[in-house]
Structure 1
Amino acid sequence: MTRYSVQRFRAAVLHMYLHIAAMITIPLSALYFLLAATPDRGVVPFAFALFVLWLKWRTRHSSEESLRYAGWFVLMIMCLMLYGAYTSNESLHQEVWMMIFPIAFAPIVATRERLIWIVIGAVGLTSVMMLRPEPLTTISTFVFVIAYLTLGFITMMLVRHNEQNIERLAHLSIIDPLTRAYNRGYLKDVMVSEINRCRRSGQALTAIMLDIDYFKMFNDAYGHLYGDSVLEQVADALKRSAQRAGDYVFRYGGEEFCIITSGLNRDESMQFTEKLRCCILELNIENQRSPHRRLTASAGFWCASDLGEVTPSAMLLNADNALYRAKAAGRDLVVDFDEMTTTDAEMAQPQGVVI
């Protein structure tokens, strides 16, 4: 999630740059052609404007896919900087062109690519300074390159600091503050992406709904503060038991948790769900209000091997119906939705699975 947030930020900056570039270069090229004493220079901003318009068309759908074209935009910005540094004069100094490139490329490329681009820019700037019709002195060229590198590194540090803040905020937005499990708001995003991924890979996807038994009575007997502590312990136990790359643990609401896992068949999903139920039992937390005298949990799951027409709501509804059947059958057990009879499915009552 945090990675996607940073990518969306980069894509938004790229779209903003394209919009600004189009607004500047199109009238600038027209002015050069109509008013400037050297109309041939209008060809450069005009060509750049055409390129920007093409990029705007290619990235018209605001998504992370537009970042595939970020490298092309950076390359054109660098060419524009080098051209400006080569043709600069007293009315438009080299410093102006030198500042364009670091500020432009840093927010729209990945962290590992920034150093490469700044080095390429420094080499290009040095070469252009030496090839100018009126080349600068060695000292002046050295000063320009050092100033360019300093500006570049400062810009990269600021951009990275901003991205880290975005990552922190994105992380906080998907985490339940009490249990530190993922929250319900993040569940739909994960399910949509996991369903699409499993469709492409041919893997099965399993949704598990797990509920702590008699938890309302537990709170009444032991107090809500202790109840919150127990929820934290339960979430930690679930996260320790669900550590594969495709495992996600969500706090669905109250004392109910949802676990999404992929790559397991029905038998493996049953074993995995039993493992989750047992990990709560192994906490050995007393619950005098429960017939089992200990804290227990009921769980229902649905393993979908054919995801062609499956929706996130359907998966959660089926898993929730299985959970309802487990609670109706005495609690502290696991029910597979596919093993429920038609009568069981009709009797099951949805527990509020809208996402």
Structure 2
Amino acid sequence: MKLGARTAAVVAVAVLAAGCQDGGDGEAQPSAGASDPTTTATAPVPSSARPSTPETTTALPQGPVRLAVAGTVATGIEVPWGLDFLPDGSALVAERDSGRIKRVAGGQAAEVGTVDGVDPSSEGGLLGLAVDPQYPRRPYVYVYYSTGDDNRIARLTYQGNRISQQQVILDGIPVAAVHNGGRLTFGPDGYLYAGTGDGREEPNSQSDESLGGKILRITTEGQAAPGNPGGRRWFSKGHRNVQGVAFGGNQLYAAEFGQDEWDELNAITNGANYGWPAAEGISGLDGMVDPIAQWRTDDASPSGIAFAQGHIFMAGLRGERLWAIPVTDGRRTGEPQAFFTGEFGRLRTVEAAPDGSLWLTTSNTDGRGDTRDGDDRILRITISR
């Protein structure tokens, strides 16, 4: 569906690098800069900076950040989706189709239990995972998952390397084979944020009474957090399919799947309307907020995002690359860089690790990728300048 006039021209960016070439399929080959010199991205920038026609360049000047693959954290994980860290530096990871949660430590991924009621589909199953910010005083883990009737958020007790006492704190989120959203994160305010999809029913995104096509903000009991619009459980609306949410300071960012033309990175504010289904990408529609960056769907199809060193890092599924977007206080402050294009296949989740690195998961066993030996894997990515 193509609705809304585009008010910003496409800015073709020369994606930055430092003499790096595509490194093939090796886990530990360093990539000092961007690996795709022709990818385009757009966001509101001064008109003087917009070329009249897209440019393609083979010059790859050094950019503001450099990424390198420091090694493989773990292999043999089936469709890793949600991932979050425990205070000891280990991590819990959710497997979408099996419903299992695994603890990753010391290069091994050991099962700690299975979430009840998971009904996997093309894009549904066990999705987001977030550790309580007061763990272990509050020994809880929160998960977002699909059932045969809806998407739900549940709280699990995690003690002794086992999950138990599954309690649904929110249900009734629209479900479909696709457009389920699913990412969870805690904000600096202590509330739980969840990205949802429209469940293939576009009116859900604009309906104040639907949980679909929204970013939710709830308490750890599943109630509406104080200050939400109209006392509802949602924080923003007008989304198509949000699979990436992350905070940079107090600013929330979200990555969103477009339909046919534009994938988006949005800066989220309380009560704002992000346009779907009237808008896809930068559209300039009254009362609706444009993204701060957009990409052709071939170049992104974004899922997880993370914030580190003044950048949003955004994993691309169809785009098979990791984007680095410089941001400050909800504004994009430079051109996005693309890293590892095609080196590891589909990329699903990226999280900032306690040691300052990024953990990046592949998603080649999800039925849409080409599986490679060791897939799916978690890679450890270091950041430098």
Q: Is the shorter-chain TM-score for this pair beyond 0.5, marking a shared fold?
A: no
Higher helix share: 1
TM-score range, shorter chain: under 0.3
Higher strand share: 2
Larger Rg: 1
Give the TM-score normalised by the residue count of structure 1: 0.26
Q: Which has the higher contact order (CA 8 A, sep 6+)?
A: 2
Give the TM-score normalised by the residue count of structure 2: 0.24
